[in-house]
Chain A
C-alpha cells in the first residue's frame, strides 16, 4: 500500500521536474531578449546598463544554473517576481486563478451533463435520435471555439441580451451568469467527444452476455440500462471527461480573450508577449500540474468503478 503510494508520488514528482525543465528551456529559448524590456526599451540602452540588468536578474548565467536557481526557489514556494509588474508571481496567479477554475468547472459540468446525456440517448434510442446526436455534436465540434464564442455572443449576448458578454461577475449567481456563454463555447467542442465515447462505451457494455441475461430474467429496461449498461460503461467515460477537463485547464486562453476575462490564460499570453519569464513559467507549470493532478485523480477513481482493476493492483 505505502510502496504503491510512494511509487505513484515519485512518478508524479519526476514528471513535474521533467515538465518544469522543458517549460523553463522553452521560455528561455523564446526569441527576444528580456533584458532589453527590463532596461526600459532600446532607446536609451547602453551596453553597461544592459549588463547591469542582466546581472541583477541573473540572466547572464548559463541555462542550467538559472534553471537550478528557479527550481530551488519554486520548491520553497517562491515563484519569483514578475519582471513587468514587480509583484510576487504567486499573488498574480492566485488573483487570476478563481476565474479560470470557475470557467473550467462550469464548462466541465456542461459537457459532462449534456455530453453523457446525449450519449446515453444515442445508445439507448438508436435510430433518428442517434443520428441527431452524432450529427449535432459533429457540427458543434467542427466549429472552432472562438467562432462559436462569437456566434453565441451575437445571439445570446447582443440580439437576445440574456447574458453579459464580458467580465467575470461577482458572487455565485453573477459568476454563473457571466460565465455561461464562455463555458458553453468551451464545452461545445467537448460534447462530440464525450457523447461518442459514452455512446460507444454503452453499446459495448450492452453487448455483454450478462445484459441479455438480466433482460432474460425480466429486469426492467430502465434498470438494465442503469445498473448493467451505464454502470459498466463508466470507465472510458470518466477517463475521457478527465482528459478533456485537464486539457481545458491549459486551453482557456482563447475564450478568456474572446470574453475579456482576466484569468490565468490571458495572464500567460500577456506574460509571453512581454517576456515576463517568471510569470510565463509559473503559469505553464501550474497548467502542467493541473493536468497531471486531474489525470491521476481519474486513475484513482478507476479501481472504485471496476473491482477487477483493484484486484490486479493489489496482487501486483
Chain B
C-alpha cells in the first residue's frame, strides 16, 4: 500500500519544527485520491494505474506530465467524471465523500458547489452564442443565487474580483468580443461563483501569453489565500509548477512517477523522467545550457508495458527495468530537505527501480540542470516575486534565473 509510511512523514514534518505544516496534517485532505486505477475496455493499458495524490486546504498541488499522461483524467475524477465505459478501483474522496459513488442530484451538487474546474481553453469552455453574464448567472443559479437581479449584480461583482475592467459592460458581451486573457478571467469568475472548496486548474494559463499568465497566476494565488481554497494545478510546464505549487506530482503513462515538495523536486529530482522534463527546457541565465529532449515519444493508450513504462526512453534504464512493476518508493526525508526552512511537506515518493542508488543532486548520472541550479529560496517566495514582477516575464522563466544568478 502506497500510504503505509504516512505516519513517519507526519513525524518528520514535526521534527522539522513546522507547526503550521503539522496543523494542516490534522485535517482530512480536501482531495484524497488513493490508488486510483481506471481501465477502458478498448485500450492496451489502464488510463490511470494506482494514482495517489492529496490536496489539503489552501494548498496548491501541481500535476505535471506530457500530453496523455492522465493529468486531466485524474482531475476529472475529482468531479466524478470518468470516460464512458471506464472501470475503476481505488478511491477518490473529496472532503471525505466518495466522488465516484455520487449519482444524480448529489453529483450535481458536488460539481456545482464543492469542486470547480477551470478549463484549458477559455474560448472553448464558454458557449459562443450566450452572453458572459448568462454564463455567470447560470453558475450562480447552481450555487443557490436564483434571483435574477441579485445574480446579475453578483456576476458584475465577480468579474470585478477577477480584475476584468468595465465589468458592467462585459456581462452584456459575447465571448467572441473578449480576448483570451479576459475570457480566462471570466472562466475563473465562473469557477469561483460557487465558492468551491477545491479548484481544478487544467492548463489554466497554458494558452495565454506570459504577462497574462503571470496575472492569472497571481489572481489564483490571491483567491487561494483569501478563501483557503485547495488547488490542483495541472500543467505541462515543470518549471512553472515547481515555482508556483507547494507540492508537485509528476505523471507518466497514467502513473505517478514522482511526488515531492516543489523545492525538493526542483533541487533534487529523483525520477529519471522528472530530470528529463527539467532538461527539456533551458533556464534563463544558463548560457551553455543544452536542450536535451527526452528521446522517443509519449506512450499512447495502445502501448502496454510489462515493466516500468519509462524504461524505453530512460537514459539510465537497465534490463531489469523492463520487467519491474513500478511501486511508489518513499524517499528518505533527509536527502530531500537539504536546506531548512522549507514548508512542512511529506517526504515524497518516486517510482523508480534504481532509486536507492540513483543519488540526487550533483552526483546524478544524468548531470542534469537542477544540479547547477540552487534551490529557489522558498516556493512561495519565488513565485510571489516572479508573479508580482509580471511585466518582466513568466514565472517559469524567472525562477531558475533567480536561482542561478545567486
Tell whether, in the assembled complex, residue B127 and residue A232 are in contact, meaning their CB atoms are under 8 Å apart. Answer: yes
Cross-interface CB contact of B125 among A210, A227, A231, cutoff 8 Å: A210
CB distance from B54 to the nearest CB of A (A): 21
Tell whether, in the assembled complex, residue A231 and residue B138 are in contact, meaning their CB atoms are under 8 Å apart. Answer: no
Q: How many residues of A contact B (CB 8 A)?
A: 21
Residue-wise, chain B 188-199 has the 8 Å CB interface mask toward A (1 for contact) of: 001100100000
A208 interface contact, C-beta 8 A: yes
CB-contacts of B86-123 with A (<8 A): 107-113, 116-117, 119, 121
Tell whether, in the assembled complex, residue B125 and residue A308 are in contact, meaning their CB atoms are under 8 Å apart. Answer: no
Tell whether, in the assembled complex, residue B177 and residue A311 are in contact, meaning their CB atoms are under 8 Å apart. Answer: yes
Cross-interface CB contact of A216 among B81, B128, B129, B177, cutoff 8 Å: B81
Cross-interface CB contact of B121 among A209, A217, A223, A232, cutoff 8 Å: A209
Residue-wise, chain A 222-249 has the 8 Å CB interface mask toward B (1 for contact) of: 0100011001100000000000000000
Residue-wise, chain A 84-106 has the 8 Å CB interface mask toward B (1 for contact) of: 00000000000000000000000
Q: How many residues of B contact A (CB 8 A)?
A: 30
Tell whether, in the assembled complex, residue A217 and residue B176 are in contact, meaning their CB atoms are under 8 Å apart. Answer: no
Q: Within the assembled complex, what's the spacing in Å between the Cα atoms of A217 and B127?
A: 13
Query: Which residue on A lies nearest to B113, using beta carbons?
Result: A218
Tell whether, in the assembled complex, residue A228 and residue B127 are in contact, meaning their CB atoms are under 8 Å apart. Answer: yes
Tell whether, in the assembled complex, residue B116 and residue A217 are in contact, meaning their CB atoms are under 8 Å apart. Answer: yes
CB distance from A301 to the nearest CB of B (A): 13
Most buried by B among A209, A210, A219: A210
Tell whether, in the assembled complex, residue A214 and residue B127 are in contact, meaning their CB atoms are under 8 Å apart. Answer: yes
Query: Which residue on A lies nearest to B114, using beta carbons?
Result: A218
Cross-interface CB contact of A213 among B107, B108, B125, B177, cutoff 8 Å: B125
CB-CB under 8 A from A217, the residues of chain B are 111-112, 116-117, 139, 142, 190-191, 194
Query: Which residue on A lies nearest to B191, using beta carbons?
Result: A217
CB-CB under 8 A from A232, the residues of chain B are 127-129
Tell whether, in the assembled complex, residue B112 and residue A209 are in contact, meaning their CB atoms are under 8 Å apart. Answer: no
CB-CB under 8 A from A218, the residues of chain B are 107-113, 142
CB-CB under 8 A from B125, the residues of chain A are 209-210, 213
CB-CB under 8 A from A306, the residues of chain B are 128-129
CB-CB under 8 A from A219, the residues of chain B are 108, 112, 138, 142
A-B contact pairs, 28 of them (CB 8 A): A208-B127, A209-B119, A209-B121, A210-B125, A216-B76, A216-B79, A216-B81, A216-B117, A217-B139, A217-B142, A217-B190, A217-B191, A218-B108, A218-B109, A218-B110, A218-B113, A219-B108, A219-B112, A219-B142, A227-B127, A227-B130, A227-B138, A231-B129, A305-B129, A307-B129, A308-B128, A308-B174, A311-B176
Show the binding face of B for A, using Cβ within 8 Å: 76, 79, 81, 107-113, 116-117, 119, 121, 124-130, 138-139, 142, 174, 176-177, 190-191, 194
Q: What are the 3 tightest A-B residue pairs by CB atom distance, in nearest-first order?
A: A218-B112, A218-B111, A209-B124
Other CB < 8 Å A-B pairs besides A215-B111, A219-B108, 12 of them? A208-B124, A208-B127, A209-B121, A213-B119, A213-B126, A214-B138, A216-B81, A217-B117, A218-B142, A223-B138, A231-B127, A307-B129
